[in-house]
């Protein structure tokens, strides 16, 4: 006996999927748990939610310094395991210069 999934309208997508799609081809800044920061163009994820960036730069930053006297290293394309991600930042939609932070399931302005 198999359990049937409830029917979904053909083009309906969850709010989370819509938010993820809205970030495609946008510049993201991803901070991982060892202190490295990757800045690149978001092009997708896989089933495990690993994040794929292209045209990415890697920054090694210690303490509270962010891009101050730090040399970027061009890494090109990088796949970042979601389990290592501490914070994801994306430009806000309004162009106010503020960043939208995505931490786990939450978004902040």
Q: What is the 3-state secondary structure (H, E, C) of 40-97?
A: EEEEEECCCCCEEEEEEEEEECCCCCCCCCCCCEEEEEEEECHHHEEEEEEECCCCCC
| Side-chain half-sphere exposure of 16, counting CA atoms within 13 A | 5
* 109 residues of the chain, pLDDT tens digit each: 555 555 555 556 799 889 999 999 999 999 999 999 999 999 999 999 999 999 999 998 765 555 555 678 999 999 999 999 999 999 887 655 545 555 544 443 3
Q: Which helix (H) or strand (E) holds 103?
A: strand 99-103
Q: CB of 84 within 8 A of CB of 33?
A: yes
């Amino acid at each position: 006996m198999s359990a049937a999934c409830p029917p979904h309208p053909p083009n309906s997508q969850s709010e989370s999927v819509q938010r993820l799609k809205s970030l495609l081809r946008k510049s993201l800044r991803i901070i991982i748990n060892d202190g490295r920061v990757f800045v690149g163009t978001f092009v997708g994820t896989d089933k495990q939610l690993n994040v794929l960036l292209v045209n990415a730069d890697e920054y090694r930053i210690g303490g509270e310094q962010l891009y101050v006297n730090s040399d970027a290293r061009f890494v090109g394309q990088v796949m970042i395991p979601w389990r290592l991600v501490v914070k994801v930042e994306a430009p806000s939609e309004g162009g106010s210069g503020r960043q939208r932070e995505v931490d786990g399931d939450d978004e902040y302005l």
